[in-house]
Amino acid sequence: MTNTKEKEKSKFDYYRRLKWNIVAFTLIVVCIPLPFVAGTIYKYYWTYVHSSVVNNLKSIAKNRDEAIQVFLTERLSYLKTLSQLMSPENVGDQRTLEHLFSIVKKEAPSFVDMGIINDGGAQIAYIGPYDLLGKNYRDAVWFKEVSEKGVYISDVFLGFRNVPHLALAVKGNNTDSVWFLRATIDTDTFRRLLRSGHMGLERDAYIINRKRELQIHTGNSERLDPSAVRFPAKGEILVNKSIGMNGYKTWSAATWLNNNRWLLIVEEDPESELISLSKTTRLALSLLVTALVVIGLLSYYAAHWIVKKIQKADHEKELLNEQLMQTSKLASLGRMAAGVAHEINNPLAIISESAGYAQELMEGLGSETRDLTAEKRQEIYTALKDIRAETFRGKDVTQRLLGFARKMESKLEDVDINNLLAEVLKFYHRSAKVKNVNILEQFDKNVGRIRTDPSQIQQVVFNLIDNALYFLSHDKTGGEIVVRTERRDRNILIIVGDNGPGMKPEVKEKIFDPFFTTKPVGQGTGLGLAICYGIIKKLGGEINVDTKEGKGTTFMIQLPITKPEGGDER
Amino acid sequence: MKKRILVVDDEEKFVDYLFKRLINRGYDVVISLNGEDAIEKVKSYNFDVVVLDVLMPGIDGIDTLREIKKIKPLTEVIMLTGHASVESGIEGMKLGAYDYLMKPCETEELVSKINKACEKKAEQEAKRRDSLVSDALSSPRSVLK
């Protein structure tokens, strides 16, 4: 009972393992390409989003750069125009300056004040909210530069008024005297200019000079560290991705303006732009996980279904096999019965004849007298003795038949293989003689007993010897069958060999296939060797064939030695 | 004239007892234990009836029957089949055996079959003689052939 339970359990394990193997296989097949595809798509999308953010930043930087450039050029040209409008007589005249300033202020409100400085650096006329008349700029940097170059745009500075501002100056265009027109612009206007356009709240713009001093800043946040800014080459927009002052991620585009003296930096926190990317990533990841879960569930159910089908098919196959075995058992029983009938008939014929003879002697048939002479007595005695001997011969046969019938039941027993084979061979003693076949026994005494199913071993050997006899009787020159046993390591070998016609290689390949037969129609089912194969496999052994056309055929059965156990045997 | 019988079987005891019982019944009996020997004996003697076992080692009953019919077509053969199957008996009949019996058989049945076979043989021989005689009468020359 424990045996069948264990078998059930190992079968159950087998099907469970099969199911999980199918699931694992499906998942592997699906999971390798899925993340790959997802990863590729993500990478392209990431690149696309990043480059669009960078391009946006660059275009804003370019746009602002141009706007500031235009603004500064415009302011300078206002000053140039004004300086040309002033005749040598009214240079330094306060009222003319006031008049001109009021006109300019209408068009360009960003001008804060305006003044005229003579070649000595003294402010000789001034209009504006500060009291700067008479101040001397002789030692100021801008004064020296504008004297040399004719045009000057200052950095942002505090100056005398102590308010950050930007100064523009042009050289007066008179032939006889040198003077300068100077105007300042408040940084608010500048800041507004920076902020306008596509800036938005999340972006910031800065202008720094070559000494990395902050000039103007739109002032939304304090993310950029001017000292960390890298300078781009002339006429280039440099994009920099780094971590800013407060630990924020910051991306910036930098470009030169104002004759490469100022660096315009448009900076932003990319998170706001990249938020769509991370949203998409999360969505894609959750889709991926959902897909995997769904695939996992589906493959589990598919595997479950497939394994169930396989289990059912296996079960049906087992039932069929059992039926087949039963049929073949009956067939071998039929063959046995025919053989036994023949063997019993022979002694019966002798008994009948000798009894008849004795009777006739007593009746006096064939002689003149009915007296029982000593000679007649002797004859009758011999006849009776022969009858007894033949009776025992008959009993021998019936005994053997009983033994065979008992072994028809399939169960595991401790079997002496040599004995079993010897019993089987007894059945063939006469039919082999009739067919002129010599059966040789070569039994190895070391084979001993193994635990196996005697009825099935018996059936296999019957089949093999039947086949050998069948093919040997086709050519009638001294056939020989050798039945040999041998112990080899942990196995015992049963070898059935004949010197019959052998097989062609293409026949040899197919002999264990069901329904394959070389016998004429009606004489072979093609199941004998298929059943042998099934039986030996079931008993945990191997069956092989070695054959050569014209030389003979040898079947070798290998059975594992399992320790005989006496426990549950009756 | 005693009827000459040849009994062929590989079971020595069976042949022995059958021999004795047929002798007692007044037949002239010769025994043989295998096919080859039987064929030799048929060659050298004229038997009226051969009682032949089908299953024998060496040349089996059917082949022996074939040989006997070749050598002496007029000799009648009764087959003994050890088998429960009648197939070999029927095969023997096709090859010209007079009849078949299944072993073990009633001796009386066998004896009556032997007698009938002998009668048939005698008839056949008579017919043949008659035809020879009529041939000779119609054309005396044919005797010389």
Nearest-by-Cβ selection for A436 from B13, B26, B57: B57
Q: Are residues B14 and A357, on separate chains, in Cβ contact within 8 Å?
A: no
- Given CB atoms, is A354 within the 8 Å cutoff of chain B? yes
Each residue's pLDDT tens digit, A43-64: 998 899 889 888 988 888 888 8
pLDDT at position A1: 46
SS3 A240: strand
Q: Are residues A357 and B21, on separate chains, in Cβ contact within 8 Å?
A: yes
Cα separation, A167 vs A137, whole angstroms: 12
| Chain B residues inside the 8 Å CB shell of A356 | 17, 21, 107
Nearest to B85 by CA among B98, B100, B95: B100
Percent of chain A whose predicted confidence (pLDDT) is above 90: 15
Average pLDDT rounded to a whole number, residues A448-462? 86
Distances from the Cα of A474 to the Cα of A440, A451, A496, A500, angstroms: 19, 37, 18, 9
Can you give A498-552 as a three-state secondary structure string? Answer: ECCCCCCHHHHHHCCCCCCCCCCCCCCCCCHHHHHHHHHHHCCCEEEEEEECCCE
pLDDT at position A494: 94
Give the strand pairing for A165-171 and A151-157.
antiparallel
Whether the per-residue pLDDT at A339 is higher than 90: the answer is no
CB atoms within 10 A of CB A152: 22
Min Cα distance A418 → chain B (Å) is 27
pLDDT at position B61: 86
* Stretch 136-155 of chain A: residues touching chain B, C-beta under 8 Å: none
Cα separation, B63 vs A567, whole angstroms: 56
Q: Are residues B103 and A366, on separate chains, in Cβ contact within 8 Å?
A: no
Q: Are residues A386 and B84, on separate chains, in Cβ contact within 8 Å?
A: no
Cα separation, A353 vs B17, whole angstroms: 6
Interface mutation target, options A336, A343, A346, A379, chain B, most CBs of B under 10 Å: A346
Number of H helices, E strands in chain B: 5, 5
Each residue's pLDDT tens digit, B84-107: 557 778 888 889 899 988 888 888
- Given CB atoms, is A384 within the 8 Å cutoff of chain B? no
Each residue's pLDDT tens digit, A130-144: 877 778 888 888 888
Nearest to A243 by CA among A255, A217, A225: A225
pLDDT at position A570: 36
Interface mutation target, options B83, B88, B103, B106, chain A, most CBs of A under 10 Å: B103
Nearest-by-Cβ selection for A345 from B13, B20, B103: B103
- Given CB atoms, is B108 within the 8 Å cutoff of chain A? no
pLDDT grade, residue A98 (50/70/90)? confident
Min Cα distance B135 → chain A (Å) is 43
- Given CB atoms, is A383 within the 8 Å cutoff of chain B? yes
Cα separation, A228 vs A250, whole angstroms: 12
Peptide bond preceding B104 in cis form (omega within 30 of 0) = yes
| Chain A residues inside the 8 Å CB shell of B24 | 360, 365-367
Q: Convert B19-38 to b/e letters by CB count within 10 Å (16 or more is b).
A: bbbbebbebebbbbbbbebb
CB pairs under 8 A between A and B: 70
- Given CB atoms, is A350 within the 8 Å cutoff of chain B? yes
- Given CB atoms, is A177 within the 8 Å cutoff of chain B? no
Low-confidence ranges of chain B (pLDDT < 70): 82-85, 142-145
Average confidence score pLDDT of chain A? 82
pLDDT at position A455: 82
Nearest-by-Cβ selection for B82 from A345, A360, A366: A345
SS3 A413: strand
Q: Are residues B107 and A353, on separate chains, in Cβ contact within 8 Å?
A: yes
Q: Are residues B13 and A386, on separate chains, in Cβ contact within 8 Å?
A: yes
Nearest-by-Cβ selection for A350 from B17, B21, B26: B17
Higher pLDDT, A403 or A123: A123
Q: Are A350 and B11 contacting, i.e. CB atoms less than 8 angstroms apart?
A: yes
> Please, what is the Cα angle at A49 between A47 and A52, to 5 degrees?
105
How many Cα atoms occupy the beta-carbon half-sphere of A300 within 13 Å?
A: 6
Q: Are residues B57 and A434, on separate chains, in Cβ contact within 8 Å?
A: yes
Whether the per-residue pLDDT at A506 is higher than 60: the answer is yes
| Chain B residues inside the 8 Å CB shell of A353 | 13-14, 17-18, 21, 104, 107
* Most confident option among A116-130, A143-157, A335-349, B19-33: B19-33
Min Cα distance B90 → chain A (Å) is 17
DSSP B75: S
Q: Are A412 and A527 contacting, i.e. CB atoms less than 8 angstroms apart?
A: no
Average pLDDT rounded to a whole number, residues A517-531? 77
Higher pLDDT, A96 or A371: A96
* Stretch 13-72 of chain B: residues touching chain A, C-beta under 8 Å: 13-14, 17-18, 20-21, 23-26, 55-58, 60
Q: Are A206 and A222 contacting, i.e. CB atoms less than 8 angstroms apart?
A: no
Each residue's pLDDT tens digit, A295-327: 889 999 999 999 999 999 999 988 888 887 777
Q: Are A22 and A307 contacting, i.e. CB atoms less than 8 angstroms apart?
A: yes
| Chain A residues inside the 8 Å CB shell of B26 | 366
Cα separation, A254 vs A535, whole angstroms: 87
